[in-house]
Every structure is written in C-alpha cells, then in structure tokens.
Amino acid sequence: MQRARSVIKGIAHTTLGHSRANSLNQRVLDANSFLSYTRDTRGRRSASRLRLLKDRYDGRRCFIIGNGPSLRGMDLALLRFETTFGLNRAYLMFEKLGFPTTFLVAVNQLVIEQSGQEILAAPVDDVFLAWSARKAIGGSSRPILVRSLARPGFSTDASRGVWEGATVTFVAMQLAYYFGFRDVVLIGVDHSFASAGRPHQVVTSNGPDANHFDPGYFGPGYRWQLPDLETSEVAYRMAMRAFEAVGGTIRDATVGGKLEVFPKVEFHSLFVDARRTHGG
C-alpha cells in the first residue's frame, strides 16, 4: 500500500506539477483523516462535543496564553476571572497562578507522547488534543480530539478540523473563533527562541529551557521540534483576516514580544474597568 501511494504521488508530481500535486496530496490526506475520524467512536464523540461549544461564548473576550519567558514578569493574577486558553504544558504555571486556565490545547505529537498524561490530568474545563496523537493517550475519553488538516487555511468550523499552522497558538485561535469569541488577546507569544536550527528539526534538550516560562518546560532529555516562525506568521495573518471579516479582533499584549502581525495593546490597560469596579 505504501509503495502504491509513493508511485501515485510520483505520477501526480510528473503530470500535475509540484504545486498542484501537493494540493492533491493534501486533499487525499484530509479525506483519509476525515474517514478515520468519522468512523471512530472517539472521533464522532469529539465532533459532537465541539459542536456543543459552537458560539457558546458569542462576542466575548478570551486570552490565549503562550508559554514564552515574558510571562515571568507579568501579573497573571488579573486573568483569574477571564476565559483563557493554555497551551501544551501551561499547567506548569497553575500552582503559582493559584488557578488553572479554562482550556488546555496541545497538538504536537512529541509533546503529547511525553506529557500526555499530565495534560489529561490538568484541572481545566476541557482538554483539546490532536486526533493524530490519539494512540499516545490510550483509551482516555477525557480529551476532545481535533482533526488536523493538511491543507493550509483558517478553519471556521473546528468540528471539521483545523490547520496547525506550525504552532498550537493558531489552533487555539481557530477554536476561539468557533466558540464565538471575537476579542482575542495574546500574551506570552514571544515569537523568538534562543535555540537556532532548521524549522521542525527534532532536538533533545540538554539543560534548562530558556525558551519558555519554566526552565523545566522542555527540560533535560525532553525531545521537541524547533519552531517554524515563518509559517506561523502566515497562519497568524490568516487568523487576523478571519476575525476582522466578522468584526472581531486579535490583539497582542505580550511584553516585549517580537511578533509584528497583530496590533499591540498594553496588558494592564485591559483591566482598568475591573480594577475600578473592585476598588483597585
């Protein structure tokens, strides 16, 4: 079967050209993924659970919390009464915060293989994991499994799949859109890494992690993939256009972040009314 697919792929590249062949291959991958998702009880159950969340937070604000080192100097206690998306190993900050994020999202295969059980144990409302990594979590029924699409684009219907865009942050943006949020604020999306190398290259940490808020985030012995910041920026621009098309916005309140796609906003200014209400 694998040999047959390789032959077909080779013929497609010869007859259609590289770009059109890639598009065809992406369609085939997405079709196969759709079939496996809809034929499996876990996939159908996850799609149903996602549909229950559609527009539940219509017009509201949420925060997507990246895991950059800039979080160390922020007053995150202000987020206690906000709706928040934590990403990957965000649970490592919960004890210091004194509360968990509302949601937790992880789609990277290596992260789920190495930290899947900790992610599943996180005290959040809902956990969202990639359908493709389902084998790494065994038979757990806790997570909502989301199908990853091969064809690039911003998905407005997460129940049918999302494009990963080389970053879990983009996946969280698509979920936020589907849930009805129209004011999305980013923090901790530093968009810069101390580690250099080829995008997506798998490396093993050999010391404290300087790229995230916790030195043990990808600590010694942890395998992870180097970022693809260029593809991430392409995805972020898609997200910005999608939100603007429905009157929404994505703003970046990251302290000292290098991302230049979204309009910047000062983090504390977002809570002025709340402080006045509570006498602050």
Pairing of strands 103-106, 126-130: parallel
Helix (H) or strand (E) holding 23: helix 18-39
Q: How many Cβ atoms sit within 10 Å of the Cβ of residue 124?
A: 20
CATH 3.90.1480 fits 40-277, yes or no: yes
Residue 209, both tokens? 């992690």
Percentage helix, strand, coil for the chain under 3-state DSSP, each rounded to 5: 45, 15, 40
Q: Is the pLDDT of residue 2 over 60?
A: no
Q: How many Cβ atoms sit within 10 Å of the Cβ of residue 133?
A: 20
Task: Give the pLDDT of residue 49.
Answer: 98
What is the pLDDT of the chain when averaged over all its residues? 91
Task: Give the pLDDT of residue 273.
Answer: 63
Task: Give the pLDDT of residue 239.
Answer: 98
In the chain, the amino acid numbered 56 is R
Contact by Cβ (8 Å): 56, 160:
no
Predicted structure pTM score: 0.89
In the chain, the amino acid numbered 31 is A
The domain segmentation of the chain, as residue ranges, is 40-277
- At 19, the pLDDT band (50, 70, 90 cuts) reads low
Task: Give the pLDDT of residue 105.
Answer: 98
- At 195, the pLDDT band (50, 70, 90 cuts) reads confident
Contact by Cβ (8 Å): 74, 55:
no
In the chain, the amino acid numbered 127 is V
Q: Is the pLDDT of residue 243 over 80?
A: yes
- At 18, the pLDDT band (50, 70, 90 cuts) reads low
Contact by Cβ (8 Å): 214, 205:
no
Task: Give the pLDDT of residue 251.
Answer: 98
pLDDT 10s digits, 51-91: 999 999 999 999 999 999 999 999 999 999 999 999 999 99
Quickly tell me which residue has 């290596």 as its tokens. Answer: 110
Q: Is the pLDDT of residue 274 over 70?
A: no
Mean pLDDT computed over 198-207: 96
pLDDT 10s digits, 123-170: 999 999 999 999 999 989 999 999 999 999 999 999 999 999 999 999
CA distance 89 to 72: 15
CA distance 116 to 137: 6
Q: How many Cβ atoms sit within 10 Å of the Cβ of residue 109?
A: 15
Residue 35, both tokens? 């079939």
Q: What angle do CA 162, 101, 175 make, to 5 degrees?
A: 15
